[in-house]
Amino acid sequence: MLWKKGICELADLISKGEVKPSEIVEAFAERFEETEEKIKAYITPTYEKAYNLAKKLDEKRPCGKLFGIPVAVKDNIVIKGERTTCASKILENFVSPYDATVIEKLKKEGALFLGKTNMDEFAMGSSTEYSAFFPTKNPWDTERVPGGSSGGSAAATAVMSAPIALGSDTGGSIRQPASFCGVIGIKPTYGRVSRYGLVAFASSLDQIGAFGRRTEDIALILEVISGYDEKDSTCANVKVPPYREEIKRDTKGIRIGLPTEFFEFDLQQEIKESFYSFVKELEKIGCKIEEISLPHVRYAIPAYYIIAPAEASSNLARYDGVKYGYRTKNYKNLSEMYAKTRDEGFGAEVKRRIMLGTFTLSAGYYDAYYLKAMKVRKLVYDDFLKAFKRVDVIACPTTPTLPFKLGERLENPIEMYLSDVFTVPVNLAGLPAISIPVNWVKGLPVGAQLIGKPWDEATLLKLSFVWEQIYPHYEKLPNL
């Protein structure tokens, strides 16, 4: 079955002339029809458009690393001529007039787009329940959440209605849903991938990354989307390694640090046991394991929930009903139009974070909150750099719990925020990290997170690739 194959395998079949792009898109469209009603991964499916473009490619000679390969895209990354809603009522009918840089790069390599995937509104959430349209369900148990905010991309990759998907990660929005859905999810170093065309949530934390089932596929897509872009002032001019070659290098002697502070958090026993079994396997293949300390990591969540909402309140000020997006129908004057548009257009969680951010940036509170949080951020970053003098990679569970039930944490935002306790420090420090499936407990996936030195995605991918040989997790498929 074509939909069971990874993108490297599919690209190889196309280049040999054994399969046509239209046949690949057709296979994934059929898979979408079988699964979508049960999991609701897409806001705007575009399989028909992809098929029509694929038919044109059938007649052409293959060129480009992703010629005829279908990709799903999180609905906060703009594609020219397509709806980009950010899962919000305020952008429900917004059609982008331009392509994000990552989309341009994918198009240049011949990729096709299967649709825009569901997410928490403006990427604010850890369960994809905060979408203004509908919640996405976990493919392994449809009564549970797929994680968030990139839950649609993770779920689509898990059920193989797309072979690969783009997501964004501000505090764990790729790694946490990857763990909950049993797929690989990578967040590159901040500045590795251009953010131009990614709808901003928190500009100093957001980063585009990818979901896939095989390490080689992740390596390929990362090669394509990475690299300098003058349209994004935070995008670094750092050479992009040939990731697909790098993953096959030896992993013997890689030093892996286990942060003692991470194991002081409230961890489910099944997560702890699965993680330590994974670490033992890494030891068997020649990795060196040692304990390390990240003393300030316990302050990461409070610091993050000052910095991220502060940046969000500034970034989301542009949605006022004047230039584009939703506008309220009944208003007497401009001020009332602003207020009613934002009140009707934004969901509860987005409003909560805008208010939090506006408060922490207001006169008299800036130094007490935002400035102090930025100092904590520097301490967290310094802790990581100090640890990386002793080790090459830091390992920990991706999430403290198994996927929780739909509705279980909606009444308790703090409990929801703590889903990202292991992922948030990585964004504060701007480091690369990957979540890989290491076990299934009671039919639910468990992920482990590997955190790398700045610009060293290659070592993370190497470890992911070698783990895949020991534990071929990509062979597991949810039974829908």
Domain boundaries, the chain: 2-256+390-475
The CA–CA distances, whole Å, from 433 to 133, 169, 175, 189, 474 equal 30, 10, 8, 8, 19
So what's the pLDDT on residue 238? Answer: 97
Non-local (6+) Cβ contacts of 254 within 8 A are 286, 287, 288, 392, 393, 459, 462, 463
Strand partners for 412: none
- Given a cut of 90, whether residue 300 has pLDDT beyond it is yes
Average confidence (pLDDT) over 168-187: 98
pLDDT per residue as tens digits for the range 368-409: 999 999 999 999 999 999 999 999 999 999 999 999 999 999
So what's the pLDDT on residue 15? Answer: 95
Cβ atoms of residues 396 and 431 within 8 Å: no
Q: How far apart are CA 340 and CA 118, in angstroms?
A: 25
Mean of per-residue pLDDT scores for the chain:
96
Average confidence (pLDDT) over 283-297: 97
- Give the residue among 140, 147, 155 at the shortest CA–CA distance from 172: 147
What single DSSP character describes residue 28?
H
pLDDT per residue as tens digits for the range 20-61: 999 999 999 999 999 999 999 999 999 999 999 999 999 999
- Give the residue among 400, 457, 417, 418 at the shortest CA–CA distance from 434: 457
Confidence tier at 411 by pLDDT (50, 70, 90): confident
Average confidence (pLDDT) over 259-280: 95
What single DSSP character describes residue 366?
T
So what's the pLDDT on residue 459? Answer: 98
Residue type present at position 176:
Q
So what's the pLDDT on residue 363? Answer: 82
Length of the chain equals 480
Backbone dihedral region of 477: left (phi > 0), alpha (psi from -120 to 50 degrees) or beta?
A: beta
So what's the pLDDT on residue 480? Answer: 85
Note the maximum CA span of the chain: 71
Q: How far apart are CA 214 and CA 221, in angstroms?
A: 11
Name the percent of the chain lying above pLDDT 90. 95
- Given a cut of 90, whether residue 226 has pLDDT beyond it is yes
Which residues are identified as catalytic?
74, 149, 173
Average confidence (pLDDT) over 445-461: 98
So what's the pLDDT on residue 245? Answer: 96
CB atoms near residue 385 (< 10 Å): 12
Strand partners for 77: 198
Angle, vertex CA 176, rays to CA 293 and CA 268, nearest 5 = 65
Non-local (6+) Cβ contacts of 444 within 8 A are 138, 140, 141, 144, 402, 403
pLDDT per residue as tens digits for the range 329-363: 999 999 999 999 999 999 999 999 999 999 999 98
So what's the pLDDT on residue 222? Answer: 98
- Give the residue among 320, 308, 372 at the shortest CA–CA distance from 346: 320
CATH of domain 2-256+390-475: 3.90.1300.10
- Given a cut of 90, whether residue 268 has pLDDT beyond it is yes
- Given a cut of 90, whether residue 151 has pLDDT beyond it is yes
So what's the pLDDT on residue 413? Answer: 83
Q: What is the CA radius of gyration of the chain?
A: 21
Confidence tier at 18 by pLDDT (50, 70, 90): very high
Q: How far apart are CA 362 and CA 366, in angstroms?
A: 6
Cβ atoms of residues 140 and 405 within 8 Å: no
So what's the pLDDT on residue 172? Answer: 97
- Given a cut of 90, whether residue 364 has pLDDT beyond it is no
- The secondary structure of 182-205 as a DSSP string is TSEEEEPPTTSB--TTBPPSSTTT
What is the reported pTM? Answer: 0.96
So what's the pLDDT on residue 240? Answer: 97
Cβ atoms of residues 384 and 429 within 8 Å: yes
Each residue of 193-219: b (16+ CB within 10 Å) or e?
bbbbbbbbbbbbbbbbbbbbbbbbbbb
So what's the pLDDT on residue 260? Answer: 96
Angle, vertex CA 96, rays to CA 7 and CA 50, nearest 5 = 35
- Given a cut of 90, whether residue 412 has pLDDT beyond it is no
